[in-house]
Amino acid sequence: MSTPPPRQGTRPVAIVACAQSKSERRIEQANEVELLMPVVTEVYANAGMTKDDVDFICSGSTDYLIGGPFSFVTALDAVGVWPPKAESHVEMDGAWALYEAWVTLQEEGKDVALVYGFGKSSLGDLSRILALQLDPYTMAPMWPDQVSLAALQAQAMIDQGLATEEDFARIASRARHNALSNPNAQVANEKTMEELMKDDYAVAPLRRHTLPPLSDGAAAIILVAGDRAYDVVDRPAWITGIDHRVDAHAFGARNLAESRSTTKAAENAGVSAGPVDIAELHAPFAHQEILLRRAMGLNESTVINPSGGPLAANPLMAGGLIRFIEAANRIMDGSANRAVAHATSGPVLQQNLVAVLEGAS
Amino acid sequence: MADPTEIYTSPHVLEYPYARSTGPIIGAFLTALRDGKIVGVKGSKGRVIVPPTEYDPDTAEETSGIVDVGPGGVIETWAWVDTPRFDAPLDTPFAWALIRLDGADTAMLHVVAAPTSDVVVTGTRVTAEFRPAAERVGSMHDLRCFVLEGK
Amino acid sequence: MAAEETAQGPVTMLSTPIRLDYNFTAGVAQSKSLRGYAEGRFIGQRCPVCKKVYVPSRGSCPKDAVATTEEVVLPNTATVTTFCVVNVPFAGQSIEIPYITASILLDGADITFMGLIQGIAPEDVEMGLRVEAVWVPKEELGPTLASVKYFQPTGEPNREVSTFAEHL
Amino acid sequence: MNQRCAVIGVGQTHHKSKREDVSIAGLVREAAVAALEDAGLDFSDIDAVVVGKAPDMFEGIMMPELYLAGALGAVGKPMFRVHTAGSVGGSTAIVAAHLVANGIHKRVLTVAFEKQSDSDAMWALSVPQPFSAPLLAGAGGYFAPIIRSYINKSGAPNNVGMKVAVKDRLHALKNPYAHLHLPDIDLKMVEESVMLWDPLHYLESCPSSDGAAAMVLSSEDVAVAQEKTTGRPAAWIHGMAMRSEPTMFAGRNLMNPQAGRDCAKDVFAQAGITKPRQELDCAEVYVPFSWYEPMWLENLGFAEENEGWKLTDSGATSLDGGDIPWNCSGGVLSSNPIGASGMLRFLESALQVRNMAGDHQVPDAHKALGHAYGGGSQFFSMWVVGSDKPE
């Protein structure tokens, strides 16, 4: 096996096992621990490992989804950090927890990491919760909701001639179609662009179908450094490039129709260094797929969001990590050789992470 | 006996009256709003940032020099809300908009009141409509909304 | 805000009240414990691996990371392993200070939880004090730990600290 | 660690109960700008920014680092947000240091903060959760019973905690950034303060502060270059580690948690330390309630089990003649911007080995421990820094 060399760091790191819950609008029968535990159990089983094999654990979640401090602390009860483990938590999507784990595995002697992310959007009013991400002096007091902010971005794209409402509907149509073959998806059906265009506006110019569903869900990944990855799986999904960047928060000070942070992260991750078979883009709103695709320079030969993407299932704090899972699964099963996984955080794509996953040649 | 399969759920309210110190720059902005004006601050290379921040968001350099902007400006992009949420600034249909005020180099998020959606388009000129002086306290809500210029 | 209206100096403070409404769900395991409270009894769960009894249980053994499925009904009697006297006022507090919160080890349980102690003067409480749960009247029982009004001394002799040292 | 990593700049705010003169951005910039100046660098020199703070409910801003991206010069760069409860300031420093030590970046700015006066920490930590009894009474209500267990087990005299409270406040008088400056502090004053969470007096508890801390971490080549440019020495990281254990499980040792012992063992092994009391010159350890000094003396291996209080009692941990001064800065008992409190411990340990701690400098300090813990004494982060490069 010829492990593809990584662009960042010195030690190749691969995704070797994944697990995710089925996304649902409301998972009432499970609290966070019960949501997470089967997923963690499954990822260990998929890797043929136990908690004792893991050198580092990192998770992504946010307290505001549950409305109480330290939600990540109780979630640890699902993971079994005993004997005590090297463990950390980011108040970010699980994709950034993966980034931290990837950094940690650069060190010799740290070979296996568990990464997970979880979130239940069903407990509160997500639009109101997310308004608390905005500048606390000049924006949050007006409680702008995430759909309206996304609509500002979509309109900027339309004004700049980058997309039309029909383009948005075409993306939603394809996402729902792709989701039919994804058992974890929440929104899956066959609807043509023309049918979807009959939808009402949620906030113009965004019609209902351009919005992501509200989802509860959890996801977990096992990362392994070096050749040990081949002990777990025949075709590990090697992370050959990974980078993340942030844009200015004051989105009145930037062009909303572009994503400089994505462009820079994609350049550093080496997206354009070879053909991209598939890309899993964390574009919660349909228009953001067009924006991200342009920002990364992906051409027509790349299949976008074969899982259906966030338009089919979008558990906050796990949505980005699920993009890694969907991309890695397609490397591991041999259906793709080179894939892109992307995650976003913050209002209107403020922060973006891009990774290139490759199978060994 | 209680239903042996019932999953208990409960309302939970998280509520606190946060009080934020503004510092001098945001303080100057809120003071101006209370006085029925809008101000920005000069950032790197002299560009005028509205709402003002202590730093230029692109360079992190310290800003200095409060300048008057508006009250007129141009819609840079918009989003039409037919059914306002309970927490929206206006309870009748309106548009969220990024508005570049006259004299500013960045756009500010606020709302535009208009009779119908078709009159709100990118490039439309709007002007600030303040609440009556007695109701203004030094917050974004002192600026009730923007309205179409000359209407 | 009133101060700002009267004194027209520069604005230095911004009031931003925040209210978020949630619909919290207890999940399967916690609902079992909560159902016990609604019935006026403690229901714990046993870990299939280490056999320890957790009450209240959140559905897993935090040490072994396995689901705890076997239910165990526990008695009202317990030992105070340790405690403190709370004498600090704070926003949202609903009990009159001073009050005693104790780590309560139910007989037959392997972990403690926080409970309120009454029926004894604060200066007389000691580690090892034997207590029993006093439930709210039957018609007020509900799926909440608040169904336990408080714990009060049983009058039994205190337990030696060495007999429960592993729970400290 | 694949490569050497050094602290080349530190900055902190003046910590106060209410920093009403600044916004949150203003507060964090105060620390960040000071750290950059110390390092002889500018925001534009920085490769990545790592931010840490405790629960977002303290300020009522979800993921406030997003709003702070511009204020911290992170636009166009990687920005990262860590949250590991009270240990977060320490964990944040370690996450930032890993970026350098593992060869990803050369210059990383790390910042931790809390502006608790925007709300009320007691409220935020005691938000009644559905289905539970409303008994929570802040962190003190959680830790006081554990302290009682320790006093019972160790046979320590009741006034040891008060001695820690006095000692750390005396230290704070030598630290211009400390929140509490109590020139008349003595045992009597502590004893006469309100018994908030019996056995803890008011003055045996940490204050609630607004404040921020920042550090610039760099690779060896940058550190050597900046030492020449600024004339100020770097502090070299000799070891760093994190450990976690569950909040509660049957048989958990709450007084002397295994995760703390394991973390100390790991970090000391990396730094080649076998006798911490002898081989370290000082330590900045997260002691939010007085009795956690003797408890952590045992947990970290400075004393045998049940003997920690004897070190405190004998004055061994005092800057005034002690052989292993703890918390020369005044510690968490004197300044507690929660999210930054852990980073302040790491930062102060670096200041000591750079010989830049001013009036609270331990003479000729070469090696120091920075320590933070959080949650229900379940999350630990530690580093050892030295004035010489590690082998």
**Topology given in CATH for the domain delimited by D5-121+208-230:** Peroxisomal Thiolase; Chain A, domain 1 (3.40.47)
In this structure, the answer to whether residues A149 and A42 fall within a common structural domain is: no
Sequence-distant (≥ 6) Cβ neighbours of residue D115 within 8 angstroms: D19, D24, D27, D58, D59, D210, D337
In this structure, the answer to whether residues A63 and A118 fall within a common structural domain is: yes
Tokens coding A294: 């342009």
In this structure, the answer to whether residues A174 and A45 fall within a common structural domain is: no
Contact B30 C25 (CB under 8 A): no
C-alpha A216/C-alpha A32 separation (Å) is: 10
Using pLDDT thresholds of 50, 70 and 90, give the confidence band for residue C4.
very low
* 8 A C-beta contact, residue A303 and residue A278: yes
Q: Which domain holds residue C100?
A: 27-167
Q: Which domain holds residue A244?
A: 126-210+238-358
Partners of B17 on chain C (C-beta within 8 Å) are 15-18
Q: What is the mean pLDDT of chain C?
A: 90
Q: What is the pLDDT of residues C19-69, one digit of tens each?
A: 999 999 888 888 988 999 999 999 999 999 999 999 988 788 999 989 898
In the chain, the amino acid numbered C81 is T
C-alpha A217/C-alpha D105 separation (Å) is: 33
pLDDT of residue B138: 97
In a domain? residue B137: yes
User: At A254, which CATH number?
Assistant: 3.40.47.10
pLDDT of residue B39: 98
* 8 A C-beta contact, residue A95 and residue A117: yes
Sequence-distant (≥ 6) Cβ neighbours of residue A116 within 8 angstroms: A36, A39, A40, A43, A59, A60, A79, A94, A97, A218, A219, A220, A221, A318, A321
Sequence-distant (≥ 6) Cβ neighbours of residue D69 within 8 angstroms: A246, A247, A248, A249, A350, A351, B57, D49, D75, D79
Contact C110 D250 (CB under 8 A): yes
How many C-D residue pairs are in contact by the CB < 8 A criterion? 132
In a domain? residue C21: no
C41 to chain A, any CB pair closer than 8 A? The answer is no
User: How crowded is the C-beta side of C29, counted as CA atoms within 13 Å?
Assistant: 27
Contact C168 D137 (CB under 8 A): no
Q: Of all residues in chain D, what percent are helix, strand and coil, respectively (each to 5)?
A: 40, 20, 40
Comparing CB atoms, the residue among C27, C62, C66 nearest residue A34 is C27
- Sign of the alpha-carbon torsion through C36, C41, C42, C44: negative
In the chain, the amino acid numbered D346 is F
pLDDT of residue C8: 79
Burial D178-196 (b: 16+ CB within 10 A, else e): bbbebeebeeebbeebebb
D36 to chain B, any CB pair closer than 8 A? The answer is no
In this structure, the answer to whether residues A284 and A311 fall within a common structural domain is: yes
A83 to chain B, any CB pair closer than 8 A? The answer is no
At C164, phi and psi to the nearest 5?
Answer: -130, 25
Contact D133 C146 (CB under 8 A): yes
pLDDT of residue D120: 78
C-alpha B35/C-alpha B128 separation (Å) is: 13
Instruction: Suggest the residue from B20, B41, B53 to mutate for an interface test with chain D (most D CBs closer than 10 A).
Output: B20
In a domain? residue B2: no
* 8 A C-beta contact, residue C37 and residue C148: yes
Partners of B3 on chain C (C-beta within 8 Å) are 35
Report which of A284, A283, A275 is spatially closest to residue A358, judged by C-alpha positions. Answer: A275
**Neighbouring-strand partners of residue D195:** D201
C31 to chain B, any CB pair closer than 8 A? The answer is yes
* 8 A C-beta contact, residue D260 and residue D66: no
Using pLDDT thresholds of 50, 70 and 90, give the confidence band for residue C7.
low
Partners of A205 on chain B (C-beta within 8 Å) are 79-80
In a domain? residue A5: no
| Minimal CA separation from A152 to chain B, in Å | 5
Contact A64 C20 (CB under 8 A): yes
D123 to chain B, any CB pair closer than 8 A? The answer is yes
pLDDT of residue C2: 42
**Neighbouring-strand partners of residue D215:** D10, D110
C-alpha A85/C-alpha A108 separation (Å) is: 17
What is the DSSP secondary structure assignment for residue A253, as one 8-state letter?
Answer: G
B56 to chain D, any CB pair closer than 8 A? The answer is yes
Partners of A71 on chain D (C-beta within 8 Å) are none
Which residue of chain D is at minimal alpha-carbon distance from A68?
D127
Contacts by residues D385-388 (CB-CB < 8 Å, ≥ 24 positions apart): D385/D7, D385/D235, D385/D236, D385/D237, D385/D238, D385/D346, D385/D349, D385/D350, D385/D353, D386/D235, D386/D236, D386/D238, D386/D271, D386/D353, D387/D233, D387/D235, D387/D236, D387/D353, D387/D354, D387/D355, D388/D236
- Report helix angle A165-179 to A286-296, nearest 10: 100
In a domain? residue B109: yes
Report which of D285, D265, D286, D284 is spatially closest to residue D275, judged by C-alpha positions. Answer: D265
pLDDT of residue A281: 98
| Minimal CA separation from D209 to chain A, in Å | 18
CA D301 to chain centroid, in Å, comes to 18
**Neighbouring-strand partners of residue B146:** B112, B128
Using pLDDT thresholds of 50, 70 and 90, give the confidence band for residue C91.
low
Note if the pTM is more than 0.95: yes
Q: How many domains does chain B have?
A: 1
Q: Where are the domains of chain D?
A: 5-121+208-230, 138-207+239-386
Window D:108-127, CB contacts with A under 8 Å? 124-125, 127
pLDDT of residue D1: 83
- Burial, C158: exposed, middle or buried (Cβ in 10 Å; 0-12, 13-18, 19+)? middle
In a domain? residue B46: yes
In this structure, the answer to whether residues A91 and A168 fall within a common structural domain is: no
In this structure, the answer to whether residues A243 and A231 fall within a common structural domain is: no
Q: Write the DSSP string, D191-232.
A: HHS-EEEETEEGGGB----EEEEEEEEEEHHHHHHHHHHH--
In a domain? residue C16: no
Alpha helices per DSSP H over chain A: 32-47, 71-75, 94-104, 126-131, 146-159, 165-179, 193-196, 229-232, 260-269, 286-296, 319-332
In a domain? residue C20: no
**Which chains pack against D, by 3+ Cβ pairs within 8 A?**
A, B, C
> How far apart, in Å, are the Cα atoms of B119 and each of A161, B90, B126?
20, 17, 11
The three-point CA angle C141-C143-C149 to 5° equals: 50
How many A-B residue pairs are in contact by the CB < 8 A criterion? 109
Report which of D31, D69, D43, D86 is spatially closest to residue D347, judged by C-alpha positions. Answer: D31
* 8 A C-beta contact, residue A21 and residue A182: no
Comparing CB atoms, the residue among A145, A156, A159 nearest residue B85 is A145
Using pLDDT thresholds of 50, 70 and 90, give the confidence band for residue C3.
very low
In a domain? residue A4: no
Within chain A, which residues score under 70 in pLDDT?
Answer: 1
pLDDT of residue C118: 93
pLDDT by residue for chain D (391 residues), tens only, comes to 889 999 999 999 999 999 999 999 999 999 999 999 999 999 999 999 999 999 999 999 999 999 999 999 999 999 999 999 999 999 999 999 999 999 999 999 999 999 999 987 767 777 777 777 666 677 888 899 999 999 999 999 999 999 999 999 999 999 999 999 999 999 999 999 999 999 999 999 999 999 999 999 999 999 999 999 999 999 999 999 999 999 999 999 999 999 999 999 999 999 999 999 999 999 999 999 999 999 999 999 999 999 999 999 999 999 999 999 999 999 999 999 999 999 999 999 999 999 999 999 999 999 999 999 999 999 999 999 999 999 8
Residues in chain B whose beta carbon is closer than 8 A to a beta carbon of chain A?
Answer: 7, 9, 12, 14, 18, 20, 22, 26, 29-30, 49-51, 53, 57-58, 76-82, 85, 87-89, 96-98, 100, 106-111, 117, 122, 139-141
Comparing CB atoms, the residue among A67, A92, A246 nearest residue D77 is A246
Comparing CB atoms, the residue among C17, C21, C24 nearest residue B18 is C17
Instruction: Suggest the residue from A65, A71, A155 to mutate for an interface test with chain B (most B CBs closer than 10 A).
Output: A155
D252 to chain A, any CB pair closer than 8 A? The answer is no
Report which of A169, A116, A143, A94 is spatially closest to residue A341, judged by C-alpha positions. Answer: A94
In this structure, the answer to whether residues A88 and A205 fall within a common structural domain is: no
Partners of A132 on chain C (C-beta within 8 Å) are 18
At A249, phi and psi to the nearest 5?
Answer: -75, -40
C-alpha D56/C-alpha C147 separation (Å) is: 31
Report which of A119, A328, A316 is spatially closest to residue A222, judged by C-alpha positions. Answer: A328
Contact C65 A123 (CB under 8 A): no
CA A269 to chain centroid, in Å, comes to 16
pLDDT of residue D141: 86
C27 to chain B, any CB pair closer than 8 A? The answer is yes
Sequence-distant (≥ 6) Cβ neighbours of residue A2 within 8 angstroms: A360, A361
Q: State the CATH class of domain D138-207+239-386.
A: alpha beta
Q: Which domain holds residue B43?
A: 23-148
> How far apart, in Å, are the Cα atoms of A110 and each of A102, A107, A169, A231?
10, 6, 46, 16
| Minimal CA separation from B50 to chain A, in Å | 8
**Which chains pack against B, by 3+ Cβ pairs within 8 A?**
A, C, D
In a domain? residue A96: yes
In this structure, the answer to whether residues A90 and A134 fall within a common structural domain is: no
> How far apart, in Å, are the Cα atoms of D299 and each of A198, B107, D90, D264, D266?
66, 55, 17, 8, 13
Predicted ipTM of the assembly: 0.96
Q: How many domains does chain A have?
A: 2
How many B-D residue pairs are in contact by the CB < 8 A criterion? 68
At A161, phi and psi to the nearest 5?
Answer: 75, 25
Report which of B92, B67, B66 is spatially closest to residue B81, judged by C-alpha positions. Answer: B92
Residue B1 has pLDDT above 70, yes or no: no
Window C:68-97, CB contacts with B under 8 Å? none
* Start-to-end C-alpha separation, chain B: 67
Report which of A151, D86, C144 is spatially closest to residue B11, judged by C-alpha positions. Answer: C144
